[in-house]
Amino acid sequence: MSTKALLIIDMQNESFSPEANVYDTDGVVERINALSDRCRKAGYPVIIIQHDGTLQNEYLPGTDGWKLLPQITTTGNDILISKTANDSFYQTNLSAVLHQHHVSELILTGSATDFCMDATVHSALSKNYKVTVVQDGHTAGDRPHLKAQQVINHYNWIWSNLTPTNISVKPASEIII
Res 175: pLDDT:
96
**CATH class of segment(s) 3-174:** alpha beta
First to last CA, the chain: 16
pLDDT score of 165: 78
CA 83, 176, 4, 156 dihedral sign is: negative
Collapsing DSSP to helix, strand or coil, 119 comes out as: helix
Enumerate residues 6+ apart whose C-beta is below 8 A from 13. 64, 65, 66, 67, 68, 69
So where are the chain's domains? 3-174
Specify the pLDDT at position 106: 98
Which residue in 9, 31, 19 sits closest to 141, CA to CA? 19
89-97 CB contacts, 8 Å cutoff, 24+ apart: 89/120, 89/123, 89/124, 89/127, 90/119, 90/123, 94/47, 94/49, 95/127, 97/45, 97/47
What pLDDT score does 42 carry? Answer: 96
Contact 70, 38 (CB under 8 A): no
Residues of the chain with pLDDT under 70: 1-2
What's this model's pTM, rounded to 2 decimal places?
A: 0.97
